[in-house]
Each structure stands twice: as structure tokens, then as C-alpha cells.
Amino acid sequence: MAFSRYLIILALVTGCILPSGVQALWPIPTTLETGMTTLKISPTFYFDVQIEGPPSDLRDAVAQSQHYLENDKLGRLVVGRGSNDTSALATARTLSKLTLSLASGVAAEPISSEAVKPLGTRSEEYALIIPADGSAATLTANSTLGLYRGLTTFNQLFYYYGGVTYTLLAPISIKDTPAYPFRGLGLDTSRNYYPVCDILRTLDAMSWVKINTFHWHITDSQSFPLEVAQYPELSINGAYSPQEVYTASDVQYIVQYAAARGIDVMMEIDTPGHTAIIAATYPEYVACSDASPWADFANEPPAGQLRFALPEVMNFTASLLTNVAKALPSHYFSTGGDELNTNCYANDYLTEQQLNRTGMTLNGALDTFTQTTHGALIAQGKTPVVWEEMVLDWNITLSNETIVMIWISSADAAAVAGRGFRIIHAPSNYFYLDCGAGEWLGDDPTGNSWCDPFKTWSKAYTFDPLANLTEAQYELVLGGEQILWSEQSGPQNVDPIVWPRAAASAEIFWSGKQPTGAALNVTEALPRLHDVRYRMVQRGINAIPLQPQWCALRPDACDIYA
């Protein structure tokens, strides 16, 4: 058996790189040993689930894996797309089954239960062994969630040529576990609406690269597409149309669909800013509603923010958030807190009156508001998540458990960690998928994107989760996510603007480093990311080409210094 560990050492010694297509896994596993034997999938191949009373979502996952195995039909990304493999295939041994089992004594819970446990308590690791001699492959884990992760790896191992599904890499031995517990993708469904089917398709693609959190920025100033049973007028008046609503059953369907794919849905109802549309239902709760010029009162039109100083607004918001949050299985709920504009309250009579009456400052009132809404969430067993300004600009009193999302700049992570909060990296200078599409405001033909330039996959991939942190702060880093803000996006472009770019952070936070222990490296990664992209296309995702196909078939030939 010639394991690739040997090949890797050889590669390091000789300075050469591994043959194209040798490792097409994404994210790259923690440990990975591969050989050079061709092994093909038997026509009678099956998944042997050695688990008593397998949960239905595990059975569904196995059926999905079988479907991908039969239908991916991805040709290797080399010139000829595998036509040179025919002689090896003629004499290759066949693999007849993959046995799935849980560690002894582990009871099989549904994937969807495992997927929504608190961060740090989920078991995502798995071990996958594929012998070269055709004997059964084995996938073992401590949880159904781990088995699910292993199945996504298994599917990435196989190519197709001339009616045969095969790998050139047997024997294969993988032990894999994520570097960080939180690996997300953010989507804004307020600026423009995404039909449920587009969200489901996105969840599928997320699952393929082991992303485990869907950060759903569901509402904003522009529209309120979320149906809330206790406050039905919010979506009746706030959605773009009756067709552009996520009903309670839509949300439950999405949450369940996600969980069955190992994905927790962390919803965000951004407050107290980004709430102008609430004025369509509760005008008395919103200050500077549609005030003009909007740019004096908000970062985007329309202006309007919750009058957070008023007790009735605090109570309404706490009730709204808890009513939404308690219907969700996730332990996490984001209350937002970004881009609060104080001009909005400067001449707001009701706010001024309340502050005068109570002797509070605006900042103090925001503190009370946040404690009220967070207190209500915590009482429901939820962990609040906020944007960085709550800590860095407003110094709000937050529970130690609160998770803080970095967005303005990657440079802000250290300051938040310095305050002892756990952090999620979503820095605009690396991870914002919408940057670089030009100014979207009207009447500004020469304007650029505020976060210009476009963040390529490779720029995102150079992100260091631990930069500027002390070793003692490393444990505060839960992970990170790329986000699509939707001022200029919708179902029409969600696939190409997100994929395969969002796989960059998925690997940073799952793999952390290469199996050799070396740091992640864009040159090593690019051929594998092409592979991810081409496989996504085979599965119906409109993932964008990263390069001319000529380059995709010739690793490194299109490097800038090649």
C-alpha cells in the first residue's frame, strides 16, 4: 500500500505537486491517507446500515448518498476527463458496500436532533475506510450527524467515466473532525425575497461542504417576510406581497430540511435598527419613519428604527423575538444590533420624552432594551447573538454567553475577544459575498460598492481565524461564515454569487489546516475547489466557473507566476 502520506513527503522533498485530481475532498479531512489503486463501484453496491432502528433522516441521507453516487457522473478534472483511466478500470476491483455503524453503546438519534444541539456538544467526527481489495468500506461515528458528514465525504471520492464510477485512490483512510464548531452561511431574505425552493437548494449545497449553520437574516427595513402568528400584520403589511412570505409552515419545513442535512437555522430579527418596515403595522413604535433625506437617518433607505426607549416597544420586541425563537429548535437567535443611527432619535419627541422622564441616556435605554429582549430569549433557553457594535460602540451589558459577530472589519475581532465574548467571524473585508457589484443606490452612476472590491474565494480563503488573538482567546472563536446581503441579489443569482465561494470559509472552519499540518494554501486548494464547483453543477447548482475550463483541467497552469 502506497499511502499519500508518503506521497506528500515526496512532494515536499521534490517540490512537485500531487497528480491532478488526487485529492478532491472539500473540506479537506483532518487526516487522510490514500493509495494509488483503482477501485470501482459495483453495480450491486449498497449501503449497509448496521444500526438498530435507524432514524428516518439517516435513511433519507443514505438514499441521497446513493443517488449522488449514481447520478453525479463527474468526469475527473484532467484533460480527457478520465479517458486515460479506461485500462485501469478494466482490471480494477469492485467495491460492493459501505457499512455504516455507530460507536458501541451509542444510541441512534435523528440527525436533525444532533444538528441543533448546542455548539461544542455536537459530534461531527467520523472515520471512513475504503480498502483497496474490494472488501467492505466502513463509515463509523459517534453520532448520526458524524455519519452524515462521512457520507458527504464518501460521495466526493468518486468520478465517472464510460459508465463506471470509481476512485484511483484506494486504499483510503480518513479520520475527520471539525476545527471549529460553527461554520455558517448568511442570507438576507428581506432586501429581496427568495422562494422556499431556492433556500432548500442552498441548504443542499451547504451540506455538501459541511456547513452547519444557516444564518437567516430574515427581516430588515425593506420587508418583513416572516409570518408571526402573534403579530400577523407584520407580514401582511410588511412583506413585498402575499406571495413573498415565509409562512410558519414554510419556516418549519426549512428548519427540518436543514436539520436533516446537519444544519442548524440561526435566525436573525435585526433590532432596534433595520426595522423601518415595522412602521407599516406599528407606526407608533418606529422613530424617523421614512424620514428624508434617508441618508441622514439610516445606512439604507427607508429610514426608521424602533423607539427602543419606550417600554411598550421593549415589550413588543421581546415578545416578538421570543415568539419567533421558541418555535425554532436552534439554541441560537440573533437580535442584530448593527448600524444604529442616533440621528433618528435626536428629534424624536416620544423618545426624548421617555428619556427625560427616566433620566436615562439613549445608550442606557439601549442597554435596558437589550437586557429586556435578551432576558426574554434566555428565559426561553436561547443564546443571544449580536453584531459587534453592541459591544464595541455601545458597550451594552450582555450575558457572558452572548455570541458576537464581527462584520465591519476582521481587525475588530481582537477587541471583541478582549472583552471575553465568543465570536463568529463574518468580516466584510473577507466574507461579504455582495461586495464589488457596484453602487445600487439610484442616481450614482460612478459609485462603487461600499465594500469594493469583490471578495474572491481566494481572498476569503486567506482569512486567519486566530489573527491578532492571544492563545488564551483562541477558544472564543466559534467559527465563521460568508454572507450574502441581497440589495442586488435574489433567486436569479444566488447560486453563482454564493457558489463555490462560500466553500472557502467552510474549509477554513472545518479543516483549519492541511492534513500535513501545513497552513491552508490557495494553490493547493484551487484544484479541489474546481472539483467542488463541477460537482455542484452536476447536482444542479449554478456555481460559477472560477477560471477558463482550460485552467480547471490543468492545475497550476493558470497561476499568476506559472
Stretch of residues binding a second copy (CB under 8 A), selected from 88-96, 236-244, 248-256, 407-415? 236-244
Q: Note whether 237 binds a second copy by CB under 8 A.
A: no
Contact 30, 177 (CB under 8 A): yes
Site for a second copy in 151-210 (CB under 8 A): 190-193
Distance between CA 366 and CA 372 in Å, rounded?
10
Distance between CA 349 and CA 287 in Å, rounded?
9
Figure out which of the listed residues 240, 253, 316, 394 binds a second copy, where binding follows CB under 8 A: 240
Figure out which of the listed residues 179, 490, 512, 514 binds a second copy, where binding follows CB under 8 A: 490
Catalytic residue (one of 33, 125, 339, 524): 339
Figure out which of the listed residues 90, 229, 518, 562 binds a second copy, where binding follows CB under 8 A: 562
Nearer to a second copy, 71 or 492 (CB): 492
Site for a second copy in 77-116 (CB under 8 A): 81
Residue 33 annotated in active site? no
Q: Note whether 503 binds a second copy by CB under 8 A.
A: no
Angle, helix 362-379 to helix 349-358, in steps of 10 degrees: 90
Nearer to a second copy, 123 or 222 (CB): 222
Q: Note whether 283 binds a second copy by CB under 8 A.
A: no
Distance between CA 376 and CA 74 in Å, rounded?
50
Nearer to a second copy, 113 or 449 (CB): 449
Distance between CA 445 and CA 553 in Å, rounded?
39
Per the omega criterion (within 30 degrees of 0), is the bond before 171 cis?
A: yes
Total number of residues that touch a second copy (CB under 8 A): 75
What sign has the CA pseudo-torsion 535, 536, 537, 539? positive
Contact 533, 545 (CB under 8 A): yes
Per the omega criterion (within 30 degrees of 0), is the bond before 272 cis?
A: yes
Figure out which of the listed residues 16, 441, 467, 519 binds a second copy, where binding follows CB under 8 A: 441
Q: Note whether 18 binds a second copy by CB under 8 A.
A: no
| Residue carrying C-alpha cell 477560471 | 547
**Nearest approach, Cβ of residue 345 and a second copy (Å):** 21
Figure out which of the listed residues 121, 241, 356, 400 binds a second copy, where binding follows CB under 8 A: 241
**Nearest approach, Cβ of residue 303 and a second copy (Å):** 11
**Nearest approach, Cβ of residue 318 and a second copy (Å):** 27
What sign has the CA pseudo-torsion 5, 10, 11, 13? positive
Figure out which of the listed residues 455, 528, 535, 539 binds a second copy, where binding follows CB under 8 A: 455
In angstroms, the Cα distances linking 367 to 398, 425, 499 are 9, 24, 39
- Residue 31, classed as helix, strand or coil, is strand
Strand 383-387 and strand 332-336: pairing?
parallel
- Residue 423, classed as helix, strand or coil, is strand
**Nearest approach, Cβ of residue 455 and a second copy (Å):** 7
**Nearest approach, Cβ of residue 224 and a second copy (Å):** 11
Q: Note whether 343 binds a second copy by CB under 8 A.
A: no
Nearer to a second copy, 103 or 295 (CB): 295
Site string for a second copy, 356-385 (x = CB under 8 A): ------------------------------
| Residue carrying C-alpha cell 411598550 | 312
Stretch of residues binding a second copy (CB under 8 A), selected from 27-35, 155-163, 372-380, 539-547? 539-547
Nearer to a second copy, 192 or 275 (CB): 192
Figure out which of the listed residues 445, 471, 472, 517 binds a second copy, where binding follows CB under 8 A: 445
How many residues comprise the chain? 562
Site for a second copy in 299-338 (CB under 8 A): 300-302
Stretch of residues binding a second copy (CB under 8 A), selected from 2-10, 203-211, 377-385, 446-454? 446-454
> For the chain, how far is it from start to end, CA to CA, in angstroms?
33
Nearer to a second copy, 200 or 360 (CB): 200
**Nearest approach, Cβ of residue 33 and a second copy (Å):** 27
Interior/surface letters 488-517, b for 16+ CB within 10 angstroms, e for the rest: bbbbebbbebbbbbbbbbbbbbbbbebbbe
Nearer to a second copy, 104 or 241 (CB): 241
The three three-digit cell numbers of residue 290, written as one number: 421614512
Nearer to a second copy, 384 or 427 (CB): 427
Figure out which of the listed residues 453, 467, 470, 474 binds a second copy, where binding follows CB under 8 A: 453
DSSP structure string for 459-521: HHHT--TTTT--GGGGGGEEEEEEEE--TT--TTTHHHHHTTTTHHHHHHHHTSS-TTSPPP-
Q: Note whether 544 binds a second copy by CB under 8 A.
A: yes
Figure out which of the listed residues 341, 486, 505, 511 binds a second copy, where binding follows CB under 8 A: 486
Distance between CA 92 and CA 134 in Å, rounded?
9
**Nearest approach, Cβ of residue 456 and a second copy (Å):** 4
Contact 255, 198 (CB under 8 A): no
73: phi then psi, degrees, rounded to nearest 5: 45, 50
Widest CA span of the chain, in angstroms? Answer: 86
Q: Note whether 548 binds a second copy by CB under 8 A.
A: yes
Residues with catalytic function: 339
